[in-house]
Amino acid sequence: MVGSNRSFGYDAAATFANFIATPSIWDAFAVRSVIPTIPVTQVATNDHVLVSLLSHLIYSATGSRSEVLYRFFPALAAGGTVALSTTALSRRFGLLAGICAGLYIATDPLFVDNSRDLRGYSLAALGSVAGTLILTGTWSRWRLVAYAVVMGLAMAAQLFVGVVLLCHLAWLVSERSWPRLRQLAPAWIAAALIGLGANAHIQVMEYTQHGLPPPVFYPTYPRDLILFIIGAPVLLPVGLWLAAAGLGLWTQRRAAWLWASLAVIAAAVLVLWLGLKPAFLYPRFFIFLVPASAFLMAAAMKRWGVVAPVVLLAAVVAAVSQAPGYTQDPLALRQAAAAVERIHASGQRACVIHSDEQVLSAYTSDFTVVTRPEQLADCDAVVVVSWGVDLALRDEAAREFPRLTTLPAYYPTVVLER
């Protein structure tokens, strides 16, 4: 929660404006366009339904727009993931291995970055860990009901948790445990129905209404996935954690469940990478592999105690490297909103270039959206918030509005005036 009062990031701001700070709680399921100039198909995949629904309940009850409040659930889920993983790994591999593996999760840049904003990734990771632990215990009817609910909600938080469900099935298949597979089937189906049901409208709409952008091939995605799960972009932790995970993989090489899991994950990656080729394909979609990697590191530390200080050193380096950015605004949305309201209050017209309204609307609506160069003549100032706008139109605005003010953030906002 350090720096949790900073401005929302791009995805979080779009989520807040389109699915949370709205009149109807049904907007959490991306059922309609809230911003007139932004088709819901353009932003629907940005909706992490469980987080949007919980946050909409908060908004409906309080009317608050505090970033701290809406970052609490993701941060709490991240802490829960670390605590649950550390406890489970300590019991299996020893206290030192469990603590060091937990520190890896808590400092892994991919996990940290995606757990500190209004996103569903940390809830997906928590559900994946909790569901896996439920499955590995002694089964009962109520335990399977809990498994179905936990995994279903995890999929509602982030649809890619469906890969974890497939891994669980693959474990039982690899053990040729047909009676247990039949026993699990109702819970597995219920979990899938909960998760897919929460996301069904979004997925059907995207594919039937052609909301998805054209396919894009990312040639380095498999490599990037491995590196970002294991500490990128911080170089030293990548090397140290990758070595520890590799040693852990060696200790578990005779486990059928491991190869069954790797086969499912590899198949999922190949289908996305070479088959569907979505325009937006990020390592964070597989964030549940962070606690899975912690398992491998803990296994290595139990076998070779010298691995523990290596994992710990990497965690310290990763934490120190990220700390300076904890309080930095990702976008200058709060300052941009203040500039827009100042211009509006002076009787002038503030404009934003189309697509920026989907994020700036999280903070203000006192602006006009510009989609064509000729519309700039009606503006007194143009506020450029992000990189996602029409670059030609942005450059034309810069020529027509030569007076420039920069509002600092990781990606600064520019206010252009005549």
Q: What DSSP assignment string belongs to 313-348? A: HHHHHHHHHHGGGTTS-SB-HHHHHHHHHHHHHTT-
Residues near 68 by beta carbon (within 8 Å), at least 6 away in sequence = 1, 4, 5
Backbone dihedral region of 325: left (phi > 0), alpha (psi from -120 to 50 degrees) or beta? alpha
3-state SS class at 417: strand
The helix (H) or strand (E) run that includes residue 291 is: helix 289-303
Tell me how far CA of residue 363 lies from CA of 48, 337, 341, 357, 415, in angstroms: 20, 6, 10, 10, 16
Residues near 176 by beta carbon (within 8 Å), at least 6 away in sequence = none
Distance between CA atoms of residues 51 and 317, nearest Å: 31
Angle CA 160–354–208, to nearest 5: 40
What pLDDT does 210 receive? 64
Residues near 337 by beta carbon (within 8 Å), at least 6 away in sequence = 360, 363, 364
Kindly give the confidence (pLDDT) of every residue in the chain, 418 residues in length, as a single tens digit, with 9 standing for 90 and above.
Answer: 999 999 999 999 999 999 999 999 999 999 999 999 999 988 998 999 999 999 999 999 999 999 999 999 999 999 999 999 999 999 999 999 999 999 999 999 999 999 999 999 999 999 999 999 999 988 999 999 999 999 999 999 999 999 999 999 999 999 988 999 999 999 999 999 999 999 988 988 877 776 678 899 999 999 999 999 999 999 999 999 999 999 999 999 999 999 999 999 999 999 999 999 999 999 999 999 999 999 999 999 999 999 999 999 999 999 999 999 999 999 999 999 999 999 999 999 999 999 999 999 999 999 999 999 999 999 999 999 999 999 999 999 999 999 999 999 999 999 999 9
Residue 288 CB burial class (10 angstroms; 0-12, 13-18, ≥19): buried
Angle CA 231–237–243, to nearest 5: 95
The helix (H) or strand (E) run that includes residue 399 is: helix 391-400
Are 225 and 292 contacting, i.e. CB atoms less than 8 angstroms apart? no
What pLDDT does 384 receive? 97
**pTM for this entry:** 0.95
Question: Cβ of 213: how many Cβ atoms within 10 Å?
Answer: 11
What pLDDT does 328 receive? 95
Whose CA is closest to 404, among 357, 349, 339, 356?
A: 339
What pLDDT does 212 receive? 72
What pLDDT does 204 receive? 84
Peptide bond into 408 cis (omega under 30): no
Q: What single letter denotes the amino acid at residue 37?
A: T
Write out the DSSP string of 22-85: SS-GGGGGT-S-SSTTS-HHHHGGG--HHHHHHHHHHHHHH----HHHHHHHHHHHHHHHHHHH
